[in-house]
Structure 1
Amino acid sequence: MNIALQAALLGIGATLIMDIWAILQKRLFNIAGLDYRLVGRWLLHMTHAQFVHHTILNSKKMRGEMVLGWSAHYLIGMIFCYFMLAFSGSDWLTQPTFIPALLTGIISVCAPFFIMQPGFGFGVAASHTPAPAVARRRSLIAHTSFGIGIYITALLLKPLFM
Structure 2
Amino acid sequence: MSALIWIGLVMGLGGTLAMDIWSEVLARGFGQPRPAWGRIGRWAAQLPGGRVFHDDIGAVHPVQGEVALGWLVHYSVGLAYGVIFVLLSGPDWLAAPSFLPLWIFAMVTIGAGWFLLQPGMGLGWAASRTPNPWKVRGMGLVAHTVFAIGMYAVAVLGAP
TM-score normalised by length of structure 2: 0.92
Which residue does the alignment assign to 1:84? 85
Written as runs of structure 1 = structure 2, the 5 A alignment for 1:11-160 is 11-158=12-159
Question: 1:99, CA displacement in angstroms?
Answer: 0.7
Aligned-partner SS, 2:53: coil
Q: Which amino acid aligns with 2:118?
A: Q
Question: 1:91, CA displacement in angstroms?
Answer: 3.1
Aligned-partner SS, 2:49: coil
Aligned-partner SS, 2:14: helix
Higher mean alpha-carbon deviation, 139-148 vs 90-99, is at 90-99
Question: 1:47, CA displacement in angstroms?
Answer: 2.6
Work out the percentage of aligned pairs sharing the same amino acid: 35
Question: 1:55, CA displacement in angstroms?
Answer: 1.1
Q: Which amino acid aligns with 1:7?
A: G
| Preserved contact between residue 5 and residue 86 of structure 2 (Cα < 8 Å) | no
| Preserved contact between residue 110 and residue 141 of structure 2 (Cα < 8 Å) | yes
Question: 1:45, CA displacement in angstroms?
Answer: 1.4
| Preserved contact between residue 5 and residue 87 of structure 2 (Cα < 8 Å) | no
| Preserved contact between residue 10 and residue 82 of structure 2 (Cα < 8 Å) | no
| C-alpha separation in 1, matches of 2:23 and 2:140 | 11
Unpaired segments of 5 or more residues in structure 2?
A: none
Aligned-partner SS, 1:47: helix
| Preserved contact between residue 13 and residue 149 of structure 1 (Cα < 8 Å) | yes
Deviations 1:91-134 (A, max 9, x none): 32232111112112211111100110010011100011111111
| C-alpha separation in 1, matches of 2:42 and 2:139 | 22
Runs ≥4 residues deviating over 4 A: none
TM-score normalised by length of structure 1: 0.91
Q: Which amino acid aligns with 1:63?
A: Q
Which residue does the alignment assign to 2:10? 9
| C-alpha separation in 1, matches of 2:23 and 2:59 | 24
Question: 1:156, CA displacement in angstroms?
Answer: 2.4
Unpaired segments of 5 or more residues in structure 1?
A: none
| C-alpha separation in 2, matches of 1:142 and 1:33 | 12
RMSD: 1.4
Q: Which amino acid aligns with 1:151?
A: Y
| Preserved contact between residue 105 and residue 148 of structure 1 (Cα < 8 Å) | no
